[in-house]
Amino acid sequence: MSLLTPLGLIALSSIIALIIIYIIRPNYQQKFVSTTYVWKLSLKYKKKRIPTSKLRNILLIIAQILILLMATAILTTPSQILRAQVEEPEVVIVIDSSASMRTTYDGKTRFERAVEKAKDVAETTFAKDGTVTVFLADDSAEPTPVIASAKRLDRDAFDAEIDSLILNDQCSFGTSDIEKSVEACAGIFANNPKTEIYVYTDTQYPSKAQGINVVDVTDPNEWNAAILSATAEKSDGYYLFIVEIAVYNRSQDIELSINVNGVNGNVSSNFSTVVSVDCINDTVMRVVLLSERDHSSLKDYYAKDALTTVSDIGSVYSFDNVSLSLLVDDCLAFDDNYSIYGGTPETLNVEYYSSEPNTFFSVLLDTFRSYYEKNGKWDFFPSTHREEYHPFDRYDGGNYFYIFEHVMPEEIPSDGVVFLFDPDVAPRNLGFTVIGTQQFENVNMSPVTVDTHYISRHLIADEITISRFQRLGVYDTYTEHVDEQTGKVTQTGFKVLLEMDGRPVLMIKDEGSVKVVVMSFNIHYSNISMQTFFPLFFQDMFDFFIPKTTEKNSFAIGETVTLRSRGETLSVRNGMDEEIASFDSFPATTSFSVPGSYVLSQQTYFDPYNIHEEMIYVKMPIEESNVFAVGNTLVNPYKTVVNEDFFKDLLLYFAAALVVLLFVEWILQAHDNM
Amino acid sequence: MKVSYLNDKFFSRLESLSFNLKSELLGYFGGRHLVKTHGQTVEFSDYREYQLGDDIRRIDWNLFSRFEKYFLKLFTDERQMKVQIFIDCSASMGRDNPQKQAYAVASAAAIGYLAVHNMDKVTFNFMSGNKTENPFGTIIGKTAFFSAISGLEALDFDGEDTDIKTCITTDRDMSRGNGLSVIISDFFTEYDWKAAVDYLLYMKRQVLLVQVVTPEELDPTYDGRVSLIDSEAVDSADPKNMKLRITRAMQKAYEEALRDHTLDMKSFCNKRGVQFLSARTDQPIEKVLFGQLIKAGIME
């Protein structure tokens, strides 16, 4: 048996207190009686009756002393040793591999310094026949050791492996979770609670946990200037650029170079300027580049902020990219550059075919044009056609959305999405037939699909009334096919979204390049055009069939990027024009581990001749630019767990003995009072 | 605070009572107690044959006419009794319990009143240590009795432990066979009071023992660690004082000791034809005098 808390033995002094209490027991209570004659007689009787009273008194004291001993034993946390602790030295090395560890000074990065120091500790440990385990702290959810339980005999292999961390550039461009790496040491602690942890990091920890040695690998002369973020916003049709920069561990003037390329649709046109910013240490500064047209109105607004520098740039209403660079020689270069993409919106052509064009549709499309012009999502071009549609191969890289009203084409176009509205007849080979007109007295529709489809999510069936619609005959029923190998889901047939009298009135078909929506009633015989959700229905169709590949054009290292595609596949290429990933099931998610520009390439369903490309920029996490960041308190949660692993807690038995003794003492006390 | 039971109502209730004593009294003439000896009263007792020297005036001539023999007509005699009341005046009888003292005094006064009411003589003998005092002398008549009562009430019971045997056997006023001796005490003493009773019986006296006890003595309510200070103790170091841890077992032993002590007294008295009376001070004194004394045949 072992006492885990020997300090509890102090409680033994309570036995001395008990003896003192027995010695200085409270004085006898005085009672004046007429005579003690009978009491003297009774003594003889009592002695005769209870000869063991003295023994009982002794037992009572013994029981009380035993109770105090038990209580003291409980305080000392008595435990049974289950197995001997490992006595050999064991070291766990955790090397921070966050982007800030790439900070370079005097020819060496922090990461390299950390590896060198780790090798020194390993050398010392091997000299004592100890064991060394190395963790590389990154942002992974379940860190695993890069070198596990290396011993003296494995020294050569250990040296090779730890050197490879530098040779293979194992330092990341993202964040690291030191705490999680320390938690991953649980198994090692369970075997050897005397394990020492060495954490090599540049994060400053105000307080360190017991058993964790935090080694600071920073150099006081290091400093960093960084572009934290850059955005392009439209104001009155022209872009203004807002750039946030910061300098850490130094205050100095920084020059920011700005190059706007492909200005206003001219690939060879570019605007350039250099802005000097008087940066204050550890303070985010802002540079605002205003269009010459907006200069007078916005300059005063931004100039009110003392931390903002306002500069001019030419009038830009579209651009291919904006390249930003800090003209400095700091210790961390990976956050000195930035690129802004998405300055030229894609075109969305809406072709409205109708023998009798509907004014309502025309107004609706004009409203969309105004709306998209403001938010810059699309270059929206609606056009109305009274003539009959004749198929032709357009394939000019634009996106087309066809609306056919009443008069249907013989064959649907292959270069865009088709919306068939109140069809008189069904286009050839599309998979449905039109039987004829059916008339009602304003009856509400009812949705048939259990799961609301993306395009019908805003439709409220109860609020739609129609009095006449085209009865659709046989149509291809909707089925989903799951490829057992790839898990990819393909859909065929029409999926009914709304129906009336058991007949479909709204269907969708999404089979590769065939993307068709059929609405079988006229707005003249329905109130749908009066509903607020009708424009949203159109917007949902645009977004569903012609999705944006990414929600934005700038991401951080490790950030989850959701990818959508307008074609079968999508590939990702890096700045070296190397394909680093390819996807064929959407929406797909990915993340990037190296900063820089990436190209997202896809062959869309509607243009077999042109490759559609978009660019995004991936940058270091903002927090990594602060090369002297202060972290939270590092805790070692395994100190208490380890004891339980090596010792069996005997508290229960001592507590049971204490209860028994208390019961015996109570019985003795009760008998004593009888 | 002194407690007293003696008042007019108390004595008036005694008017109708009298002693019921044995008939072998050797007292003087003039009392009201009929005895076996023949005397000059008008109450017929027996006949006997005439003997020379007898007074011929006492010959019953009616019997002579029938039997032709001379018979004398005999009459009972009436004697005066002497009642000796021995009161234990030790501190245990009253220092810490005035009611106990008052009870003893009332008992003595009641017995004394009955005596003077029946033309008997009374002496109040106060026992303390090994001495007996009789401050009022022999009391005859109610006037002398009431004058003695006031002195009896003023008495303080704070003497040392009474040696009843020595007190009684050395009493010079002790006379043989002429009445009743009453000992009033709690009889919680190590001295041999039984020898005193035997002495009184030897002196041909009728003996009555009156034990006065308090409820606290019969059933002590205290417990725990108690230092019992005896009222007769000289100082704190007196061996009469005791330090006890009174538990339930101790209380039970006390009850047994008290019960055995009382049984021993009763057994002793029964064997010798001595009347014994135990009075609790929490009982009304009338109940003792008019209940237990009559029930025991001492009064009628």
- Report yes or no on B1 lying in a domain: no
- Report yes or no on B147 lying in a domain: yes
> Average of pLDDT values for A233-243?
85
> Average of pLDDT values for B176-191?
86
The minimum CA-CA distance between A56 and chain B, rounded to whole Å, is 14
DSSP A373-387: HHH-SEEEEEEEE-S
Token pair belonging to A9: 């033995």
Contact A35 B253 (CB under 8 A): no
- Report yes or no on A643 lying in a domain: no
Token pair belonging to A655: 């507590």
- Report yes or no on A28 lying in a domain: yes
Mutate to test the interface with A, among B97, B188, B255 (most CBs of A within 10 A): B188
Whether A391 and A505 map to the same domain: the answer is: yes
Token pair belonging to A249: 């561990």
Token pair belonging to A410: 């013989």
The minimum CA-CA distance between A35 and chain B, rounded to whole Å, is 5
- The complex's ipTM? 0.82
Whether B111 and B234 map to the same domain: the answer is: yes
Tell me which residue range forms the domain holding B72.
29-79
> Average of pLDDT values for A158-171?
88
Residues of B at the A interface, defined by Cβ within 8 angstroms: 91-93, 95-97, 100, 186, 188-190, 214, 216-217, 220, 222, 224-232, 240-244, 247-250, 252-254, 256-258, 260-261
CA separation for the pair B112, B116 (Å, rounded): 6
Whether A180 and A132 map to the same domain: the answer is: yes
Q: What is the pLDDT of residue A222?
A: 92
Whether A101 and A55 map to the same domain: the answer is: no
Q: How far is CA A66 from CA A12, A356, A408, B3, in A?
A: 11, 106, 101, 56
Q: What sign has the CA pseudo-torsion B250, B251, B256, B257?
A: positive
pLDDT higher than 90, residue A88: no
Contact A33 B95 (CB under 8 A): no
Contact A28 B227 (CB under 8 A): yes
Please state the domain count of chain A: 5
Please tell me what DSSP assigns to residue B292: I
CA separation for the pair A619, A563 (Å, rounded): 18
Q: What is the pLDDT of residues B36-46, one digit of tens each?
A: 566 666 667 78
Phi and psi dihedrals of A480, rounded to 5? -120, 135
Q: What is the pLDDT of residues A511-524, one digit of tens each?
A: 888 999 999 998 88
CA separation for the pair A282, A250 (Å, rounded): 8
Q: Which residue of A has its CA nearest to B190?
A: A37
- Report yes or no on B243 lying in a domain: yes
pLDDT higher than 60, residue B22: no
CA separation for the pair A554, B243 (Å, rounded): 96
* Exposure of A648 in the CB half-sphere (CA atoms within 13 A): 9
Mutate to test the interface with B, among A22, A35, A46 (most CBs of B within 10 A): A35
Q: What is the pLDDT of residues B87-109, one digit of tens each?
A: 999 888 887 788 888 888 888 88
Whether B112 and B248 map to the same domain: the answer is: yes
Q: How many helices (H) and strands (E) does chain B have?
A: 10, 11
CA separation for the pair A50, B76 (Å, rounded): 63
Q: Which of B216, B231, B253 is opposite residue A46, by nearest beta carbon? A: B253
Q: Which of A25, A27, A33 is opposite residue B228, by nearest beta carbon? A: A33
pLDDT higher than 60, residue A216: yes
pLDDT higher than 50, residue B23: no
Q: Which amino acid is at B183?
A: I
- Report yes or no on B3 lying in a domain: no
Residues of A in contact with B280 (CB under 8 A): none
Token pair belonging to A372: 């998209």
Are B207 and B267 a contacting pair, CB within 8 Å? no
Per DSSP, the three-state class of A182 is helix
CA angle, residues A530, A533, A535, in degrees to nearest 5? 85
Contact B228 A43 (CB under 8 A): no
Q: What is the pLDDT of residues B54-84, one digit of tens each?
A: 888 888 898 889 888 888 887 766 667 888 9
Q: Which of B249, B252, B254 is opposite residue A38, by nearest beta carbon? A: B254
- Report yes or no on A565 lying in a domain: yes
- Report yes or no on B2 lying in a domain: no
Under the banding of pLDDT at 50, 70 and 90, the label for residue A86 is low
Q: Which residues neighbour A512 within 8 Å (Cβ) at sequence distance 6 or greater?
A: A568, A605
Tell me which residue range forms the domain holding A264.
224-341
Residue A41 touches chain B, beta carbons under 8 Å: yes
Task: Return the C-alpha torsion angle A193, A194, A195, A201, nearest 10.
Answer: 110
Domain of B203, CATH number, reads 3.40.50.410
Q: What is the pLDDT of residue B30?
A: 54
The minimum CA-CA distance between A71 and chain B, rounded to whole Å, is 28
Residues of A in contact with B242 (CB under 8 A): 36, 39-40
Q: What is the pLDDT of residue B267?
A: 94
User: Residue-wise over A421-441: b if at least 16 C-beta within 10 A, else e?
Assistant: bbbeebbeebbbebeeebeee
CA separation for the pair B26, B149 (Å, rounded): 27
The fraction of chain A above a pLDDT of 70, given in percent, is: 93
Please tell me what DSSP assigns to residue A193: T
CA separation for the pair B198, B81 (Å, rounded): 20
User: Residue-wise over A194-215: b if at least 16 C-beta within 10 A, else e?
Assistant: ebbbbbbbbbebeeebebbebb
* Structural domain ending residue among the three candidates B60, B79, B98: B79
Contact B96 A40 (CB under 8 A): no
Whether B182 and B218 map to the same domain: the answer is: yes
Q: What is the pLDDT of residue B160?
A: 84
Please state the domain count of chain B: 2
Q: What is the pLDDT of residues A194-210, one digit of tens each?
A: 788 889 998 888 877 77
Whether B101 and B131 map to the same domain: the answer is: yes
Under the banding of pLDDT at 50, 70 and 90, the label for residue A393 is low
Token pair belonging to A34: 């007429």
Contact A39 B254 (CB under 8 A): yes
> Average of pLDDT values for A102-131?
90
CA separation for the pair B187, B164 (Å, rounded): 9
A402: number of Cβ within 10 Å: 21
